[in-house]
Amino acid sequence: MENLVEIENVTFGYNARPILKGINMTAKRGQVVAIMGSSGCGKTTLLRLIGGQIKPSKGLVRVAGQNVAELEQDGLYELRRKMGMLFQFGALFTDMNVFDNIAFQLREHTSLPEEIIRDLVLMKLHAVGLRGAANLMPSELSGGMARRVALARAIALEPTLVMYDEPFAGLDPISLGVIGNIIRRLTDTLGLTSIVVTHDVQESLKIVDYVYFISEGVIEAEGSAEEMRASDLPFVHQFVHGEPDGPVPFQYPAPPYAEDLGLSL
Amino acid sequence: MSRAWLDLWVGLFVAAGIGALMFLALKVGSMNTVNKDESYQVIAHFDNIGGLKVRAPIKSAGVVVGRVTAISFDDKVYEAEVTMTLEKRYAFPRDSSASILTSGLLGEQYIGLEAGGDDVKLNNGDRVKLTQSAVVLENLIGQFLYSKAQEGAGN
Amino acid sequence: MIAPLRVIARLGRYTLDGISRTGFAARFFLATLLHSGTAFRRFGLTIREIYFAGVLSLIIILVSGLFVGMVLGLQGYETLQTYGSESALGVLVALSLVRELGPVVAGLLFASRAGSAITAEIGLMKATEQLSAMEMMAVDPVARVIAPRFWAGVISMPMLAAMFSAVGIFGGYLVGVVLIGVDEGSFWSQMQDKVDFQADIINGVVKSVVFGIAVTAIALFEGYDAPPTAEGVSGATTRTVVTSSLAILGLDFILTAFMFRGVS
């Protein structure tokens, strides 16, 4: 299988604070790839690098063979039409109803007649099970529904790559299962490539083909879902089983407790 | 809100805005600035123009017939040179006289144009020779006091 | 570092921050102008924003205009009658409104009604990643979101100022002529005599266009530049009202100095 996304030795930091330190990673066509790690470890930054919203300070990001950092605005926009992105809280346009949200890209980038747009939008909505909610405003949707609408919007132009930023955050167990299911099904039926950024291990291990674990800007472990479940690397073990203490310590680095309290031993 | 309602409201808004502008242009202000094609200019020299300003009206028999368009100082004769733009439809004899008058006690100053008896009319660029300067209150009071003093000395 | 040095260092930091922010604002303004094509090609987008910036500001503009005009009529009459020149009431009301109060008060109201709404909306779109999402959909948010709002503000402001003046003059007429009994003929004729189309009305319109540009540009920039948090957006909204009000008053002084220099 061919690589759709290739990340080679990427380093990135805001100001002087490094967030990513030499990341290598690939996503093959037709795969669901998960990027896991604790909060604030630079997972979302990775997605922004792939989308070309920020440029790496060192290293290469290639999507479909093109170096993202070197593209001009036109080339970048051309590339982004083949990408869909699901933002953490959906990022639906609050001044439009569900239908118009999904029709947005079709209206901006194509000159299709309104009847065809209507059919396409209803198809996308049907795929996420919300055809009946076409006329609701985003403020009338529950968190899970908003996420599904955003998903329908992300696939509106039938992209080859879809990125999901924390698709499971803050959802009830039912919605969680529904979203996971949709991601897997869409990837298989539409022949997409999916990159899922998440810290929800149990839910994502059910649907992914390949997993990268990131901690403090470096890749700690990678492999298929089964390999990760069986892994005895301390970091992966702690993460998969949700143990409070381990390689990722419970305590934020601090001087010795007794010393801080002024006790002399 | 549907697109049609939106368009209607914005249409009403723009119409009301243009209506307000038309109201200001036609009812509140007037196109006082005399049109160049329909006017001619004459100049007049005054010893003292007092508080006369550019755009002050020029009246004849109380009717506005033009505007002051420029005021300058002529350093050859040490007099003020006032350019008056008059409407073409009003013609004045060459020996007309111009005087600077005040509307009311504290009102603004304007130029009163008094028609003469000559058959030849004023043309563009002509000069009004007979002029009377503004009445300056200080001078008036000075004269009054002087004449009173003279009277006193005479007795 | 010793204390005086620290103060000087802080002064330097503020200066540098201020300069870089000004530079960013200038680039943002330039980008808005350069990406204005969409706002005119798809004028429906701009029409929608005229509704939000202009039509929704109508009530406050019309009511304030009426009252300002009525107060001018009342106060003006009190002052003018001491000199026996009540007939100049129309001139007083019209000139104050057309030259100054119309553009300035309408501008201040526009800043607090429409300007703050624009900042809050853009700031919220940024905080909820809607602008980012648009960018990822290969749609330029400056062309699609910012520019239509900018032109809507620039178009709405002179309309609102003209309506403010017109309604205000009507208010002055109500109090002066209908209520107090100033002669109607001299009210209107003296007004027409003294208010010049070119010098007074056109200059008033020019002022309102400049204020429209200033308020809308400030509101859009503050929203776009707001930190993506709740406090960030609310702080930006306040800054919009303060900054654009000061900008209106400052610009008004400069414009007045240039426009009415040498005119009675």
pLDDT tens digits, residue range C81-114?
888 788 889 999 999 999 999 999 999 999 999 9
Average pLDDT, chain A: 83
> Under an 8 A CB cutoff, do A108 and C124 touch?
no
Q: Count of residues for chain A?
A: 265
What burial class does residue C84 get, using C-beta atoms within 10 Å of its C-beta: 0-12 exposed, 13-18 middle, 19+ buried?
Answer: exposed
Give the CA angle between residues B41, B44, B50 to the nearest 5°: 120
Domain count, chain C: 1
How many cross-chain Cβ pairs, B to C, lie less than 8 Å apart?
Answer: 105
Instruction: Place C149 in a pLDDT band, splitting at 50, 70 and 90.
Output: very high
How much is the pLDDT for A189?
86
Chains B and A touch (3+ CB pairs under 8 A): no
Chain C positions contacting chain B at CB under 8 Å are 44, 47-48, 50-51, 54-55, 58, 83, 85, 94, 98, 155-156, 158-160, 162-163, 165-167, 169, 188, 191-193, 195-201, 204-205, 262-264
pLDDT of B29 > 50? The answer is: yes
How much is the pLDDT for C264?
45
Kindly give, in sequence order, each residue whose CB lies less than 8 Å from that of residue A81, ignoring residues fewer than 6 positions away. Answer: A105, A109, A157, A159, C137, C138
**Residue A239 Cα, gap to closest chain C Cα (Å):** 29
How much is the pLDDT for B33?
54
Q: pLDDT, tens digit, for every residue of C41-54?
A: 888 889 999 999 99
Nearest CA in chain C to A50: C136
C202 in any annotated domain: yes
Distances (CA, A) of C54 to C65, C66, C102: 15, 18, 15
Question: Which of A85-99, A242-256, C105-119 holds the top average pLDDT?
Answer: C105-119
Question: Which of A160-174, B44-58, B62-76, C210-224 holds the top average pLDDT?
Answer: C210-224
Average pLDDT, chain C: 91
Mean pLDDT of B62-69: 86
Nearest CA in chain A to C42: A108
Q: Which residue range is the domain that position C101 belongs to?
A: 35-259
C10 in any annotated domain: no
How much is the pLDDT for C74?
94
Whether A152 and A124 have beta carbons less than 8 Å apart is answered as yes
- When CB atoms are compared, the residue of C130, C132, C137 closest to A105 is C137
> Under an 8 A CB cutoff, do A87 and C129 touch?
yes
C12 in any annotated domain: no
Neighbours of chain C (3+ CB pairs under 8 A): A, B
DSSP of chain B: --HHHHHHHHHHHHHHHHHHHHHIIIIISB--SPPGGGEEEEEEEES--TT--TT-EEEETTEEEEEEEEEEEETTTTEEEEEEEEETT---BTT-EEEEEESTTTS-EEEEEE----SSBP-TT-EE-EEEPPPPHHHHHHHHHHHHHHHHHH-
**Interface ipTM above 0.90:** no
Mean pLDDT of A28-57: 83
Mean pLDDT of C231-241: 94
Pairing of strands B57-60, A58-63: unpaired
pLDDT of A255 > 70? The answer is: yes
pLDDT of B54 > 90? The answer is: no
How much is the pLDDT for C120?
95
Q: Please name the helix (run of DSSP H) or strand (run of DSSP E) that holds residue C256, with its range, or none.
A: helix C230-259
Fill in the DSSP letter of residue C1. Answer: -
* Residue percentage of chain A with pLDDT more than 70: 96
Kindly give, in sequence order, each residue whose CB lies less than 8 Å from that of residue B13, ignoring residues fewer than 6 positions away. Answer: C50, C51, C54, C55, C58, C156, C159
C5 in any annotated domain: no
Neighbours of chain B (3+ CB pairs under 8 A): C
C27 in any annotated domain: no
Of B99, B84, B100, the residue nearest B42 (C-alpha): B84
Residue from B3, B9, B24, B105 whose CB has the most chain C CBs within 10 Å, to mutate = B24
Residue from C48, C126, C128 whose CB has the most chain A CBs within 10 Å, to mutate = C128
Distances (CA, A) of B13 to C55, C156, C163, C204, C222: 6, 9, 10, 19, 27
C56 in any annotated domain: yes
Q: pLDDT, tens digit, for every residue of A98-120?
A: 999 999 988 888 888 889 999 99
Mean pLDDT of B88-105: 84
Whether C234 and C255 have beta carbons less than 8 Å apart is answered as no
Chains C and B touch (3+ CB pairs under 8 A): yes
What are the strands of the beta sheet with A17-28, ordered from one edge? A17-28, A3-14, A58-63, A66-67
Pairing of strands B63-74, B57-60: antiparallel
How much is the pLDDT for A166?
84
Mean pLDDT of A181-198: 86
Q: pLDDT, tens digit, for every residue of B108-152?
A: 788 898 888 888 888 888 888 888 887 777 777 888 888 888 887
Distances (CA, A) of C11 to C5, C226, C239: 10, 23, 21
Whether B20 and C163 have beta carbons less than 8 Å apart is answered as yes
Of C91, C46, C104, C50, the residue nearest C186 (C-alpha): C91
Report the C-alpha gap between A163 and A196 in whole angstroms.
6
C20 in any annotated domain: no
pLDDT of B61 > 50? The answer is: yes
Report the C-alpha gap between C54 and A257 in whole angstroms.
62
Instruction: Place A1 in a pLDDT band, splitting at 50, 70 and 90.
Output: low
C117 in any annotated domain: yes
Q: Which two tokens stand for residue B2?
A: 């549907």
pLDDT of B104 > 70? The answer is: no
Whether C100 and C256 have beta carbons less than 8 Å apart is answered as yes
- When CB atoms are compared, the residue of B1, B7, B20 closest to C162 is B20
Q: pLDDT, tens digit, for every residue of A126-177?
A: 888 888 888 889 889 888 888 889 988 988 888 888 898 888 877 788 888 8
Alpha helices, H only, C54-183: 58-82, 89-95, 102-110, 116-127, 130-136, 141, 147-173
Q: Which residues of C touch A104 (CB under 8 A)?
A: 137, 139
Q: Which residues of B touch C193 (CB under 8 A)?
A: 30, 32, 57, 64
Kindly give, in sequence order, each residue whose CB lies less than 8 Å from that of residue C129, ignoring residues fewer than 6 positions away. Answer: A87, A88, A89, A91, C228
